[in-house]
Amino acid sequence: MTCIVGLVHNGVTYIGADSLASNSYMKTVRKDKKVFKLKDTPSAVIGFTTSYRMGQLLMYATGLINPKDKPINHEYIVKKFIPKVIELFENGGFSKDHSGEKEGGTFLLGYKDKLFKIESDYQVSESIDNYMACGNGEAFALGSLMTTENTNLSPYKRIRLALQAASKFAIGVEPPFYILNTKNDEVVEYKY
């Protein structure tokens, strides 16, 4: 239960996330964030849902993307990044096997000016829109992002509004919200 929001603006990808961990009977605001830069690839940002274990494996992993490889595009993510993620999840005790089908979790990956959504079956999607979301607040966030598409709002403001909409209408989404981007190390926090 969460909301992750990604947006590409002027050649930079921004990803924002809420901070709540919850199940059907309890919740806690976590200190470890659902959005972070890949440890050895500062131009890559991940925002995750599904499991904190999955997020922690990704957070501390190295070698998932080699910035020297060109181009880092959809094909690269499918053929090189995903096999490394599957191996990471299997070695880290997170991967599930359902009758021979491997299953992981859902997360957004921003790399420079690209935004990908990795689903639990490891498919990689790119939207024709310049934004995506995941988690149980996804529909509310996408609605908000669509209504702010042709405005002069900053990417930070658009993502914050999307996360606020998700937190108002979806169970399991709460501030503080954190937003990172693929260009610099700035972390923006919104406590509401």
| Short-list 13, 9, 2, 177, CA closest to 107 | 2
Mind listing the pLDDT tens digit for each residue in 115-173?
999 999 999 999 999 999 999 999 999 999 999 999 999 999 999 999 999 999 999 99
pLDDT of 99 reads: 72
Whether the pLDDT of residue 97 is over 80: the answer is: no
Distance, in Å, from the CA atom of 170 to the CA atom of 96, rounded to the nearest integer, reads 27
Mind listing the pLDDT tens digit for each residue in 17-61?
999 998 888 999 998 999 999 999 999 999 999 999 999 999 999
Whether the pLDDT of residue 108 is over 90: the answer is: yes
- What's the pTM value of the predicted model, to 2 decimals? 0.95
Does residue 49 contact residue 106 with C-beta atoms inside 8 Å?
yes
Buried b (16+ CB within 10 A) or exposed e, 173-189: bbbebbbbbbbeeeebe
For the chain, domains (ranges, CATH) are: 4-190 (3.60.20.10)
Mean pLDDT (whole number) for 100-111: 91
pLDDT of 23 reads: 84
| Short-list 135, 141, 127, 140, CA closest to 107 | 135
